[in-house]
Amino acid sequence: MAGPVPATEQMPSRLNMMAPMIPFALLWLFKPLLPSWAIVPPKSCLGGCGTIEGLIPFVDWVNAGIQFLRSYEIFGLFTFRDITRSIARGIDVPLDFTEALLYKGFGAVGPMPWVMIVGLMIVFGLYLRGWRLALLGGGTFFYLSLFSLRGIWELSMKTLSAIAVSVPLAAIIGLLIGIAAAKRQRIAMVVAPMLNILQSLPHFSYLIIVAIFFGVGAKAGVIATVIFAFPPMTRLTMLGLREISSEVREAGIMAGCTRWQMLYKVEIPSARSALMLGVNQVIMQCLAMVVIASFIGQPGLGHDLLTRLQNLRLGQAFEIGVAVVLIAVTLDRFSQALVEKEPERIKDGPLWVRHPYLCAIALIIVGSIGLASLTEAAVQLPKEYTVSISSYLDAMIKFITTSLFTPLGILRDFLLVYVFMPTKATFQSMPWVAVMALIGCVGWKLGRWKLALTVMAFVFFIAASGYWVRAVITLYMVFVALCICAAIGIPLGIWAAKKDRRTKFVLGLCDTFQTFPSFIYLLPAVMLFQISDVSAIFAIVVYATIPITRYTIFGLRNVPSQIVEAALTSGCTERQMLWKVRMPMAFPEMLLGLNQTLMFALFMVMIAGFIGTVDLSQEIFRALSFNDGGKGLVIGLCVSLIGLTADRLLVEWSNQQKKRLGFAN
């Protein structure tokens, strides 16, 4: 590898890189010569023009399917709707229980007193990791009861009761599908692409479909949450079961396990870490979705956050936001601790030595019930002790926004006029055939016909669906956000990767920010930029910078140490080391980061539609309010396909780069 590469060898590779752009550029350049159908996809007619907007009436097809499902009687006995109704009734049973346990009470017996919940969280925290976790758990619930002047406690309990039902359901469904897929190759072949689509569909598509079949309210929210949250569990189950060492499996067989014994005595326990990680992800997904499910009437923190945000009661929204964030961090840290928790040796001795935590739990339950029977204050903190600082917050926010009004306003207007508008116009001027040609050529370059045809089919679906114009606006927002994310995240990653302490700090921040439900990010955006494209992009940027930063750090730090040492001994300066050694080696990882950032951005763009943009997300909100399932699903698929197209290309590119650099897989 010694010696500089001759310039002649580099030239064709440059050209090679640019080659896929040529058809795109030509088509764009000669746009005036193109027929009009090649510029904007025609709104023409398969099966009765009029209501449909697209070249192919996907929306009508889906709606017809839904109509059919709603009315068709299976075996002439019951309709699909009957099935969904009975599922909903089934959900009611555990939901009634958790609601009663957490805030409604069982008739004569009240709900769990707040002191009991705080006490239990402290014991769990101690058991799982130690004092700091205990403090976090206890502190969070103390905050919830202290700041409960406007009922945050009850709202939180509503949210938590929905989570308490959704998490086990999603985990079990995910586990079962994962097991089936890990055992049968044929099932895996169906499940894997389904998961890809499910995980890139925006939240709202789920909500619309669920609203159609299950109505609105708490149980519909739970169902949407379960469907949204199970895929990571399935993925991690498949991964975990696959990664069990063949020796452990063989040990099970040699012991004479039957298939069933093998599964529950050997395989599931051996995959414990992966499964627990799955549970952790399910919990976080559930929280994110429960908050958003307020759009279909899920009561709780999300619902109130939404209305306060709509009424621009930012101080109150902020208080609720803090509650959501605290709950998110608590749930995340607790379930992470559960992942790392190893089984512990039981000490010999009397009961309280052998099972100290069980004894503590029993003590707390008995003690808090006793306390609750003595004073009402142990059941729920009396109103006079609760506080709300929302009026101060309002004042503060007002102060900040008025003092920042001019500079922020100027920034916003500058960005709008000189950056966003021109970019948007550029995107809108691209003929769709040109975009398709570009995607096809890049696909062909990376993966020949198979990849090219796949991604072109994705793009064609969007073009034919009738939402091309909106999709381009979504694309523009994602593109702008992506550029800003990269401009922030990559330097930040480079800075952080230099020193261990910085790395730890920044990765910790990434972890924490990533646990917040995406919805939360709208809060500062609205505070600073009111309602505009700029605030949407601000929210996207804050949320989506996380993965690119994380992957940059990861890539830079994971350069094999021999290579670094070799470079050092050949006299690299620090700067040369970064640009000539570390960055090229980290490039594939950074591509993956970019891919993740794009996914995050797409998710956020759809949520940002709530604060008013005119892309696909607005359409999806309209679909939500008109209960238009076809539209909701098709738009969702458009978003999902934008994500999948980028995913296919970037992951393939990254893999090829890795292979070129000789990284094993």
Minimum distance from residue 356 beta carbon to another protein (Å): 16
Residue 201 identity (one-letter amino acid): L
* Interface residues toward another protein, by CB under 8 A: 245, 247-248, 250-251, 253-258, 261, 265-266, 269-270, 272, 342-343, 345-346
- Cα torsion through 468, 469, 475, 478, rounded to 10: -130
DSSP code at position 110: -
Distance CA 510, CA 441 (A): 35
Nearer to another protein, 256 or 350 (CB): 256
Nearer to another protein, 354 or 450 (CB): 354
Minimum distance from residue 250 beta carbon to another protein (Å): 5
Nearer to another protein, 31 or 272 (CB): 272
Minimum distance from residue 270 beta carbon to another protein (Å): 7
> Got the DSSP string for 212-245?
HHH-SSHHHHHHHHHHHHHHHHHHHHHHHHHTS-
DSSP code at position 79: E
Minimum distance from residue 580 beta carbon to another protein (Å): 38
Nearer to another protein, 109 or 346 (CB): 346
Minimum distance from residue 357 beta carbon to another protein (Å): 18
Minimum distance from residue 257 beta carbon to another protein (Å): 5
Closest to 96 measured CA to CA, from 144, 173, 145, 158: 158
> Got the DSSP string for 411-469?
HHHHIIIIIIHHHHHHHHHS-HHHHHHHHHHHHHHHHHHHHHHHHHHHHHHHHHHT-HH
Phi-psi region at 372: left, alpha or beta (left = phi > 0; alpha = psi -120 to 50)? alpha
Nearer to another protein, 269 or 382 (CB): 269
Nearer to another protein, 346 or 351 (CB): 346
Minimum distance from residue 53 beta carbon to another protein (Å): 50
Nearer to another protein, 354 or 448 (CB): 354
Distance CA 386, CA 398 (A): 24
Residue 261 identity (one-letter amino acid): Q
Closest to 602 measured CA to CA, from 637, 634, 567, 628: 637
Q: Are 611 and 596 in contact (CB under 8 A)?
A: no
Distance CA 389, CA 212 (A): 40
Minimum distance from residue 579 beta carbon to another protein (Å): 41
Minimum distance from residue 341 beta carbon to another protein (Å): 11
Closest to 198 measured CA to CA, from 159, 235, 242, 243: 235
Nearer to another protein, 257 or 396 (CB): 257
Nearer to another protein, 47 or 343 (CB): 343
* SS3 state of residue 397: helix
Nearer to another protein, 344 or 574 (CB): 344
Minimum distance from residue 242 beta carbon to another protein (Å): 17
Minimum distance from residue 358 beta carbon to another protein (Å): 18
Nearer to another protein, 255 or 395 (CB): 255
Q: H/E/C letters for each residue in 23-54?
A: HHHHHHHCHHHCCHHHCCCCCCCCCCCCCCCC
Nearer to another protein, 265 or 313 (CB): 265
DSSP code at position 610: G
* SS3 state of residue 73: strand
Minimum distance from residue 277 beta carbon to another protein (Å): 15
Q: Which two tokens stand for residue 174?
A: 């995910």
Distance CA 124, CA 130 (A): 9
Q: Are 253 and 262 in contact (CB under 8 A)?
A: yes
Largest pairwise CA distance in the chain: 89
Rg of the Cα trace of the chain?
A: 27
